[in-house]
Amino acid sequence: MDWQPLWLTFRLATITSLILLVLALPLAYWLAFGKFRARGIVEAVIGMPLVLPPSVIGFYLLLAFSPSYSFGAFIEKVFGLRLVFSFPGLVIASVLYSLPFMVYPIRAGLQSLPASLREASYTLGKSERETFFRILLPNCKPAVLTAFVLTFAHTVGEFGVVLMIGGNIPGVTKVASVAIYNEVEALNYAAANQYALVLFAITFVILLIVYSINNNLLRVRQSS
């Protein structure tokens, strides 16, 4: 079995999850406590990947990233980077496609905290930034951990979007889900089963460890 698609899959999932963690923290805070009229529109845009077929999102991203269109041509001209059929293109597509899996759990965790935490922090003269990073964020670690795990697992299981954007280039864009599809299409079920079993086992172990840690954090929080 070729291990390269598996390595590429977990590399993509790790990079995507880390980027989204940085982006989702301020966005989730803004959605949880910000006051603005366009909240419904912003939430609808973020949640589109939850309801749209991956092929639809992949198709429009393929058009946007293509050098034949303005955005793709701009990126290639300015940065010398072609997003179609490349690993950077996969990362950007995965970030957009997995955005709600990181944002919504963190927002829910922030909203579940007592309002007195924020009020007490502001009363003590803490800024909004200090309140977020020193008071709110440490108290919603389970939500952040859950969001990270969901994003990682969702990225590992991506197929439609990565196939549309990345195609099937070995060592560049051929992730495990695409490798399984190729083996099944070639009626090579033994190889497909090997990829599937490895993905199943590794993902299960990661989820088991992380959710065990998550449950322990919740118990500590409830007991304190």
Contact indicator for 26, 131 with CB cutoff of 8 Å: no
CATH number of the domain residue 79 falls in = 1.10.3720.10
**Percent of the chain scoring above 70 in pLDDT:** 99
pLDDT of residue 221: 67
* pLDDT at res. 125: 86
In the chain, the number of structural domains is 1
pLDDT digits over 55-95, tens only?
899 999 999 999 888 888 998 888 888 899 999 999 999 99
| pLDDT for position 140 | 87
Please give the average pLDDT of every successive group of 10 residues along the chain, which has 224 residues: 89 96 94 84 91 91 90 88 91 95 93 87 86 88 89 91 91 92 92 92 84 76 68
What's the pLDDT score for residue 99?
Answer: 95
Query: What pLDDT shows up at residue 16?
Result: 96
- Using a cut of 0.85, tell me whether the model's pTM lies above it: yes
The confidence score (pLDDT) of residue 20 equals 97
The torsion of the CA quartet 64, 66, 69, 73, rounded to 10 degrees, works out to 110
Q: Which domain holds residue 17?
A: 3-223
Encode the chain in three state secondary structure: CCCHHHHHHHHHHHHHHHHHHHHHHHHHHHHHHCCCCCHHHHHHHHHHHHHCCHHHHHHHHHHHHCCCCHHHHHHHHHHCCCCCCCHHHHHHHHHHHHHHHHHHHHHHHHHHCCHHHHHHHHHCCCCHHHHHHHHHHHHCHHHHHHHHHHHHHHHHCCCHHHHHHHCCCCCCCCCHHHHHHHHHHCCCHHHHHHHHHHHHHHHHHHHHHHHHHHHHHHHHHHHC
The answer to whether 14 and 185 have CB atoms below 8 angstroms apart is: no
Cα→Cα distances 84→26, 64, 115, 147, 208, Å:
29, 9, 45, 28, 35
